[in-house]
Amino acid sequence: MDLFIARQPIFTAYKKLYAYELLYRGTKTSSLHNTSGNRATTSVLSSAFLTEGIDKISGFKPCFINFTHELLLQNLPAAFPKNQIVVEILEDVLPTPDIITICKKLRVDGYTIALDDFVYNADLEPLIEIADIIKFDFLLTPVGTLHKTLHLLSRHKLKFLAEKVESYEEFVQASKLGFSYFQGYFFCKPERIRIQEIDSSKINLVNLLAEVNKKTTTRKKIESIIERDVALAYKLLRYINSSYFYRLKSIDSIAHAITYLGANELRRFIILVLISELASDKPGELVRLAVVRAKMAELLALETGWKDKADEIFLLGLFSLLHALLDTTIDYICEQLSLSEPLQSALVNQLGPYAPFLDAVISYEKRDKPACLAAVQKINVAAGKLYPLYMEALAFTRAVLY
């Protein structure tokens, strides 16, 4: 049976990746609506820790996991490593004596306790005293209510997490209110807009990206780019010797690495490195998300009659966040990079033959099941393929960026 989970990053105030929340997404025959909280949590734990391995899911970053009243009474969190999970207590869990006893023991044993979708009630004080982190729905909670609640909680030693932060402005607002952690899609949007202008320190990188992306660029030109950049050469060797390739014998020369990868894969590798460098002042998760999108889009293409366009569809996923990396418009980026018409159409207007590939990836990422199913139907890919392709995309991303 195929089971689907997703992860959403959680950032610090410095936009550094702190943790992920792991989210249940259902199976081919069931959805969130007809799955109990108990089943959802146990399925996530089983998939993440037992089936796939938490290293593949989160790179050993802590994972926020929802726990119901029943699962807490079973002391289920204690079966998992304390440094790899954050025990997220759902909003409908009542602070009964049994729950308080178990949570106190978890806290003493070193587990981090978080309260989900928090709305202040004096009856919750016993849980508040145990908690390390309190999560607020920033989208639904009025600012006035947040001020009042944060004041009430100020006597406790707590950190606050704002979830559903959808814009950079909301991120700034939450930071000023005193939130320490942030969850949402704010990092996918530009922090500021510079119309047709790119930071001068990034111009050379953009020009190099344009050169590598040209169809007329030869292997000799690509090799010369690597030979002039020691850091790039080092990253190439690290990449080619990563576990993603399952090589028994390491490659220790640039010439051998170039031969092994071939021209297309080499071009792709350089593009990934350039994208990473362009994002040096952005949250690292933004780059990871772009690479995951790219690889998953490519893998979807390889499942269809678009195999010969898989390289371009890879770029579609990768460039879908380039506007956020450069704080400019996607139209301007398309002009600078001389992208093909299908790529431009998909990136700028979400139209054309490539658009469903990006729609499928983004809707899967955002847990929008109806939109995802509609998109994969257009490209004739079975929904059951999505989860294994997503996991392969995560593995590829680790190989490139870690």
Buried/exposed 162-174: b ≥16 CB within 10 Å, e otherwise = bbbbeebebbebb
CA angle 139, 6, 134 (to 5 degrees): 40
Within the chain, which residue ranges are assigned CATH 1.10.3210.10?
Answer: 200-401
Q: What is the pLDDT of residues 297-323, one digit of tens each?
A: 999 999 998 988 888 898 888 888 877
Domain spanning 200-401: CATH 1.10.3210.10: yes
pLDDT digits (tens, 9 = 90+) for 13-27: 888 889 988 877 665
Considering the chain, what percentage of its residues have pLDDT values greater than 90?
30
φ, ψ of residue 133 in degrees (nearest 5): -135, 140
H, E, C per residue of 80-131: CCCCCEEEEECCCCCCCHHHHHHHHHHHHCCCEEEECCCCCCHHHHHHHHHC
Q: What is the pLDDT of residue 167?
A: 83
Region 135-157: mean pLDDT is 91
- Taking all residues of the chain, what is their mean pLDDT, rounded to a whole number? 81
Write out the CATH class of domain 3-188: alpha beta
- The pLDDT-based confidence of 87 (bands split at 50, 70, 90) is very high
β-strands 17-27, 133-137 pairing: unpaired
Q: Which residues contact 352 (CB under 8 A, 6 or more apart)?
A: 341, 342, 345, 346
Tens of pLDDT, residue by residue over 345-367, are 998 889 999 999 999 999 998 88
The pLDDT, as a whole number, for residue 43 is 76
**Mean pLDDT value across residues 86-96:** 91
129-145, pLDDT tens digit by residue?
Answer: 999 999 999 989 998 99
Q: Is the pLDDT of residue 158 over 90?
A: yes
pLDDT given for residue 81 in this prediction: 86
> 10 Å Cβ neighbour count for 234?
11
As annotated, the residues of the chain forming the CATH 3.20.20.450 domain(s) are 3-188
